[in-house]
Structure 1
Amino acid sequence: MAALKLVRANAGKWGVDTARVGTIGFSAGAMTVLNSTLTAKPGERPAFIGYIYDPQAAVEVPADAPPMFDAITFDDEFFPPVAFPLVEQWRKARRDVELHAYSRGGHGFGTGEPGTTTMGMIGQFSNWLAMQGFASRKDQK
């Protein structure tokens, strides 16, 4: 959350739209992103979150939770999903969520494991950001 506060505090100087500041985390970073989002005060949450290869356990989702992009592989050796209660809780709270569950890629596929469909994850995340309205300037919509 300190990074969000820093960016928002300098938004005018850096030409950043504070309504489009979000976070993406991988593995332990994803857990940090999720936990800090869930515990943030209203108005301090990121505009969106990317939650990449992490546990799919159910959580209590705030009414103002940001849209979430969730990506995991079925062969993740640390967090193999058998169901998606995290996604279901986001949906139950009527918050936007997109799930990408890849058949192979393991844990820590980063920007993609060669020879698997995880190679498209960053592009899919970018497309999702655009669909959500976070990727273009206000005057370019």
Structure 2
Amino acid sequence: MTDEPTTVPEVLFVCVHNAGRSQMAAALLAHHAAGAVRVSSAGSAPADTINPAVREVMAEIGLDLSREVPKKLSTDAVEAADVVITMGCGDACPVFPGKRYLDWELTDPAGKALEDVRPIRDDIDARVRNLLRELVPPGE
């Protein structure tokens, strides 16, 4: 047995406005990982505020996004991440060799009613749980 420090994987979720999909994914992963993964999110063209419907569907499952604000995607954020998950940000996401990139095709919740945002949240939740099992296998 070695005394090597274990590294905590870092995941960056990126979408255009950082007001919906990436915010939901970051909150869900942070919740499920409970500190086992570092999580951040950003947008290539951030909105001014989080989508109100997104805030509401997340509150329904006990996750409060009221203090979150959309953040601008930076090169530093991408460089710090072990896994970069894009959600419709197209060519605006910088690509660095050696990084793991995943592109999750998800419906944009912008302008959608709560009943249309819930399935997006639930899809993201399932994907986040699968990613967490990959990054931090049970029992580790």
| TM more than 0.5 | no
Using CA pairs under 8 Å that are at least 6 residues apart, name the structure with larger relative contact order, 1 or 2.
2
TM range, smaller chain: 0.3 to 0.5
TM-score, normalized by length of structure 2? 0.41
TM-score, normalized by length of structure 1? 0.40
